[in-house]
Chain A
Amino acid sequence: MSTESIKMNNWHESARSFRVATWLGWQIESNWTEPFLFMIYAIARPVASALILVFMYMVIAQGGMGHPLFAYIYLGNAFYIYVASVMIGISWTVTDDREHYGILKYIYAAPIQVYFYLLGRGVAKTLTATVAVVITLAFGMLVLRIPYDFLAMNHALFWATFFLGLGALALMGILLAGVALITARHSGFIGEAVAGALYLFCGAVFPLDVLPQPLQYIGLSLPLTYWLEGLRRAVLRESISPLLAPISNEIILVILLGATLVLGLASLGFYRWCEHRAKEKGLIDMQTMY
């Protein structure tokens, strides 16, 4: 077989792994119950999280839902649903397949590109998260009367930021999946810890300026800070963070693009290394009774 046809075969195998994993992920996500209960499940958690913020705000501000700070907090929280879903979802796939279903060894034995398989599983998580994000935003607009105008937003900035950030999240998920592959009993905690730290440091629910200065530097070094800032600027047409306001939209996109490329390369290299190590140490079918 020529080098050209081997490359072609790899490409087909990657595309097929991605497609089938997306389908499988969707089945696992949704077929455990009736569609109605599934919808409640998909909606209840994110809407409850949003409502916690709403009540916290209402207790202090006594109304004033039209205030820019509230719109800022609510929007950040809504899009943060993707972080928890996509990033933790991809990394949890390793633990779930290895220990719960016991199929990871069979996946490795099959003609599948596991890197793309994991990305495909992430697509199913993205779909579920999208439903939750849309409902959370609709709830904000229709019930809480938050003045978001998605028709008049900066579409170019929004979509470019949105897809770059989503890609970065999926790649961070692969990095965590690599860690999960070579870690016993902590894989669940790792995703939660990273998502929790990002929630705090990237200003998901408050302007970064509120943090003490050393923590602001951590926030400024995270791509998700720029993702949320870009989305907020696109929808709200302004930045209410004095710390981030001087950074132009173009620079935000360049930072996101650079971060996504670096994460892409890092995730490829790191996941391969983790895979090699897991095979060497016999961790692919590890059972830790998590």
Chain B
Amino acid sequence: MKNFRRDLNIFLRTVRGRSYPRLIGMQREKSWIFFDTFLPLLATTAYVFIYRALNAPPEFTGFVVLGGAMTAYWLNVLWSMATQLYWEKETGNLSLYLIAPTSRMAILLGMALGGMAATTLRAVTVLLLGSLLFDVTFSVENWGALLLVFVLTLVALYGLGMIFASLFLLWGREAWHLAQLFQEPVFLISGFYFPVRNLGFWVSIGASIIPITFGLDAMRQLLYPQAQWGFLDVNIEIAVLALLSVLFLVLAHRMLLWMETLARREGRLTVRGQ
């Protein structure tokens, strides 16, 4: 019992300690908040004007603004979760993490929670500014379901980020390139800027491995109940997201242990400048 309490205490302190720089770092470098908000907003604005050039119905502006806000989470997962252990290796912190008497999962969880909180501020700003600039209105009938979808999407998404972080632990320079590779192709297959069902049934089902796919689709259905652009029923999408949340967290734990062992064996934990 005493050991459990001590372990839990260390776990929670690690989570807090690792999420702290995510939140405080944002305050220290305020210009980053501007860039992190401004960049997704630029792309979002460009996509809004494409729909305007095509004389699209007004709800498509809302689709794009919501998709633009959610890009902040995907970019955060890619660049601040997946590649994080690679950065830590490059800057020499990884070995310190490994000799610290704490759980690696706690470190990843801290990164995820800190990143989630910091990114939510950016996503909300993009959503608000986008809505104000382009006169977007949402008609939410079920706030509870919307909140549930949003939370489940984030849990599953950051779980996926933890899995990626373990994978990227093994990689050198290719980690950087592969993170870039996961940007636009994921924006495409997850339907960030158009309803995902237009990709066809099987592609959309395949894309649902990335939690944002169903998350965005369900949120759009809940924000625009009259639009009829949904892929699957919202309840099914919620169930899949719940399943992915559990699956990804369990997998992340296993992967982290396995990759760490592999990286130790192959001597890749301290290799820098690859």
Contacts and interface: CB of A to CB of B under 8 A. Distances in A.
A52 B189 CA distance: 9
Nearest to A51: B188
A102 interface: yes
Contact of A59 (B53, B185, B194): B194
Nearest to B196: A55
A199 B42 contact: yes
A52 B184 contact: yes
Contacts of B46: 196, 199-200, 204-206
Q: Is the interface of B mostly helix, strand, loop or mixed?
A: helix
Interface stretch (B32-40, B94-102, B214-222): B32-40
Interface string B16-57: 000000000000010110010011001101110111111110
Interface residues of A, number: 40
Contacts of B273: 100-102
The range of chain B's interface size is 35 or more
Interface in B74-111: 90-91
B235 interface: no
Interface in A188-239: 189, 192-193, 196-197, 199-200, 204-207, 210-211
B180 interface: yes
A32 B173 contact: yes
Contacts, number: 108
B168 interface: no
Contacts of A52: 184, 187-188, 192-194
A33 B174 contact: yes
B2 interface: no
B174 A210 contact: no
B43 A199 contact: yes
A57 interface: yes
14 contacts: A45-B180, A52-B187, A52-B188, A52-B192, A59-B195, A186-B35, A192-B35, A196-B39, A196-B46, A204-B46, A206-B49, A206-B52, A210-B52, A211-B49
Interface of A: 32-33, 40-41, 44-46, 48-49, 51-53, 55-61, 69, 73, 100-102, 185-186, 189, 192-193, 196-197, 199-200, 204-207, 210-211, 289
Given A56-B50, A56-B54, 20 more contacts: A33-B174, A41-B180, A44-B184, A45-B180, A45-B185, A49-B184, A55-B199, A56-B47, A57-B54, A59-B56, A60-B51, A73-B50, A100-B273, A193-B35, A196-B46, A200-B45, A205-B46, A205-B49, A206-B50, A206-B52
